[in-house]
């Protein structure tokens, strides 16, 4: 349900919430890496599991679902996945063409991820049992990443690098984890409140806000993560981050949302957003299967995103 705020206040809440969840995610990951390292978890396992972790997406998705903003909740899943493949990968490839050979099983896991997500959309409302199935699928897919990615430099965690530099104490690691978790929850609530206010103040189609505007605001940093790793001469890290992030966006995030709160599934999500996520991921998989993504292929992914955005205006 849309909240009634002054438009400027709604925009300020939305923007402040985005800033808070991004900041809080960095603190949360730094603390979580420290806790995992102190518990004796291997460096490779930490990097593989956390390389694509997007806690801000989960925070915004759950808070939006609880506020009745199903468009924004599902937008963190499907809109986020489409943004990741079309904009983050596409724009980064236009700036710095990606040349990489990922293990074939990793690419198959990547391509299958949005297909599996359709399980949650077959009912009018997200069901908790399906949420559990999605989380089990996430665990299996992550195990596949650990198995097929062993011995290869395809995963990297910025939080792990920060931990290696500073080596915070156990108390500080736990503190950062808790502070990050609390701040992410607060930031997610502010994003949801602000989004509700914007819907009440402006004639914005809810699904356009959820599937296009929301992911653009929350996940813009993904473009940097893709481009920086490639520019630094680590294309395998950029590709590994792409695969890991897709798993978190779709299987983990959607599973948690389904378990946390009942979210209605609008027909357009099933008829347009889900198939588009499958098609965009399949196109990116074809490019990566051939050895990378060049500038023209990156441009085609960006063009696909433009079609997606316009489609939401036309089909609203």
Q: What percent of the chain shows pLDDT beyond 90?
A: 22
pLDDT of residue 2: 46
CA 165 to chain centre: 27
| Least confident window among 21-25, 100-104, 176-180 | 21-25
Q: Give which of 231, 247, 219 is closest to 107, Cα–Cα.
A: 247
In degrees and rounded to multiples of 5, residue 264 shows phi and psi of -65, 145
The answer as to whether 210 is a domain residue is yes
Question: Would 160 be classed as within a structural domain?
Answer: yes
Q: Say which CATH number the domain at 150 has.
A: 1.20.1420.30
Sign of CA pseudo-dihedral 189, 220, 58, 32: negative
- pTM of the predicted model, to two decimals? 0.79
Is residue 2 one of the residues assigned to a domain? no
Which of 245 and 139 is assigned the larger pLDDT? 139
* Better pLDDT: 65 or 158: 65
| pLDDT on residue 101 | 81
Q: Would you tell me how many other CB atoms lie within 10 Å of the CB of residue 68?
A: 17
71: confidence class by pLDDT, cuts 50, 70, 90: confident
Residue 1 falls inside a structural domain: no
Tens digit of each residue's pLDDT (9 = 90 or more) over 118-143:
888 888 998 889 999 999 999 999 88
Question: Average pLDDT in the 30-51 region?
Answer: 61
Give percent of the chain with pLDDT exceeding 70. 68
Q: What is residue 161's predicted lDDT score, i.e. its pLDDT?
A: 57
- C-alpha to C-alpha distance for 239 and 104, rounded to whole angstroms: 12
Chain CA centroid to CA 254, Å: 10
Contact 57, 249 (CB under 8 A): yes
What lies within 8 Å, CB to CB, of 250 at 6+ separation is 77, 78, 81, 113, 114, 116, 117, 277
Average pLDDT over residues 180-191: 69
Please give the pLDDT value at position 42. 52
Q: What is the residue-averaged pLDDT of the chain?
A: 78
The residue-averaged pLDDT of 221-244 equals 72
- Provide the domain limits for residue 139: 7-314
Q: Is the pLDDT of residue 310 over 70?
A: yes
**Strand pairing partners for 293?**
98
Q: 44: pLDDT confidence band, cut at 50, 70 and 90?
A: very low
Number of domains composing the chain? 1
The candidate with the shortest Cα–Cα distance to 106, out of 284, 228, 273, is 284
Average pLDDT of the residues in 102-128 = 89
Residue 300, in any domain of the structure = yes
Q: Which residue has the higher pLDDT, 177 or 261?
A: 261
Return the H-helix or E-strand segment holding 293.
Answer: strand 292-293
Distance CA 25, CA 31 (A): 10
pLDDT in tens, 254-308: 999 999 888 899 899 999 999 999 999 999 999 999 988 999 999 999 999 999 9
Residues near 60 by beta carbon (within 8 Å), at least 6 away in sequence: 17, 21, 72, 76, 187, 188, 191, 192, 214, 218
């Amino acid at each position: 349900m849309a909240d009634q705020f002054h438009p400027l206040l709604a925009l300020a809440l939305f923007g402040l919430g985005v800033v808070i969840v991004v900041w809080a995610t960095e603190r949360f990951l730094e603390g979580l890496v420290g806790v995992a390292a102190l518990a004796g978890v291997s460096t490779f396992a930490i990097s593989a599991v956390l390389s694509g972790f997007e806690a801000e997406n989960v925070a915004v998705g759950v808070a939006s679902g609880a506020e009745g903003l199903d468009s924004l909740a599902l937008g963190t899943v499907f809109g986020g996945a489409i943004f990741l493949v079309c904009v983050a990968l596409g724009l980064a490839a236009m700036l710095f063409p990606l040349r990489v050979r990922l293990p074939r099983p990793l690419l198959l896991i990547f391509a299958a991820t949005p297909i599996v997500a359709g399980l949650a959309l077959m009912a009018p409302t997200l069901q908790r049992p399906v949420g559990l199935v999605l989380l089990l699928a996430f665990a299996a897919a992550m195990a596949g990443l650990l198995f097929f990615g062993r011995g290869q430099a395809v995963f990297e965690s910025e939080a792990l690098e920060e931990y290696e530099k500073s080596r915070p104490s156990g108390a500080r690691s736990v503190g950062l984890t808790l502070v990050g978790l609390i701040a992410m929850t607060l930031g997610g609530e502010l994003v949801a409140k602000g989004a509700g206010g914007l819907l009440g103040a402006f004639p914005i189609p809810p699904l356009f806000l959820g599937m296009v505007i929301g992911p653009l605001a929350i996940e813009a940093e993904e473009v940097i993560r893709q481009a920086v790793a490639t520019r630094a001469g680590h294309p395998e890290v950029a590709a590994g981050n792409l695969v890991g992030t897709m798993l978190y966006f779709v299987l983990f995030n959607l599973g948690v949302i389904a378990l946390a709160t009942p979210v209605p599934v609008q027909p357009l999500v099933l008829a347009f957003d889900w198939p588009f996520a499958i098609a965009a991921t399949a196109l990116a998989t074809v490019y990566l299967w051939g050895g990378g993504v060049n500038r023209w292929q990156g441009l085609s992914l960006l063009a696909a995103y433009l079609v997606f955005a316009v489609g939401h205006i036309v089909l609203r």
